[in-house]
Amino acid sequence: MTAAQGVLLRPITMGLLLQSLFLLLLLLLGSCLHPATAFPKGCYPSEEEGLKTFRCSNAQLTEVPRDIPNDTNKLYLDFNQIPFLPRDAFRDLPLLLELDLSHNAIARIETGAFQSLAEHLHSLDLSSNRLVSVSKDAFSNLKAKVNLSNNPWLCDCRLQELIRAVELVAESSGGIVCDSSTQEEHVGKAFLQVIADTDLCNVYKKTTDIAMLVTMFGWFAMVISYLVYYVRQNQEDARRHLEYLKSLPSKQRRSEESSTISTVV
């Protein structure tokens, strides 16, 4: 290369270098002005059948993630280790239609956990969790069809009230089975079969009434026993005092008898 060619190439090289530096600067500014959304590990957005979907299936979550896009229509949190649902667990999701919480470790649902979803949620899957007993208030005003199958339910009045307060997914009703019950003969039976034959809330009310009657009778018997004991004790004391008076000289005896006999029952 001649000296003349070197002189000609130098401005071109400098121009390319300046252009590269300018593009690098634009990329850095762009990343600062528009940072990438940081989703929890194992979670990603997608679109299914025209609906915006957010999937966190099998992501080893131990709580409901906070950074869920607020335009999500379908949310999958299945196959995780979420143990409970706190109040307002799904707030700021005004467009959510479907929520899958199946195959977790959910044992407790606080009242108000679904309150922000009451008007628009269509489907709620809570199957294959660890639910034993849940208040019907946790599902207050919820219009979604609910799947409660494959949980270790305690079959009692509380569960009966819950089942009558929600709309079950039709094919899931047979999966609500009594893992334990206030009545031993119900264990292992489908809950809808149990409440078709027995009103558990009436049974509970009758049991409570009987317990109250037994308690009241016990207190009444204690009061009567005390009164009988008190009267007999007074009679015994009076008898002993009269015997004592009889042993006294006649003048002293007559003066004390008048004040003593009035105490005899």
Buried-exposed string 41-62: b where 16+ CB fall within 10 A, e elsewhere: eebeeeeeeeebbbbbbebebe
User: What is the spatial distance between Cα 57 and Cα 78, in angstroms, rounded to a whole number?
Assistant: 5
Write down how long the chain is: 265
- For residue 217, what are its two tokens? 């009778």
Q: How many CB atoms lie within 10 A of CB 242?
A: 16
Nearest alpha carbon to residue 137 among 107, 163, 111, 166: 111
Q: Tell how far CA 166 is from the center of its chain.
A: 15
Confidence of residue 77 (pLDDT cuts 50, 70, 90): very high
User: What is the spatial distance between Cα 82 and Cα 226, in angstroms, rounded to a whole number?
Assistant: 58
Q: How many CB atoms lie within 10 A of CB 113?
A: 23
pTM for this structure? 0.65
pLDDT digits (tens, 9 = 90+) for 121-161: 999 999 999 999 999 999 999 999 999 999 999 999 999 99
Average pLDDT over residues 60-80: 96
CB 110 within 8 A of CB 86: yes
pLDDT score recorded for residue 245? 56
Confidence of residue 218 (pLDDT cuts 50, 70, 90): low
CA neighbours within 13 Å on the CB side: how many for 172?
A: 19
- For residue 34, what are its two tokens? 């528009």
Specify whether the backbone of 188 is left (phi greater than 0), alpha (psi in -120 to 50) or beta. Answer: left
Average pLDDT over residues 191-218: 67
- For residue 114, what are its two tokens? 């679904």
Confidence of residue 182 (pLDDT cuts 50, 70, 90): confident
pLDDT score recorded for residue 254? 55
Nearest alpha carbon to residue 174 among 156, 196, 158, 157: 196
Q: Coil, strand, or helix at residue 223?
A: helix
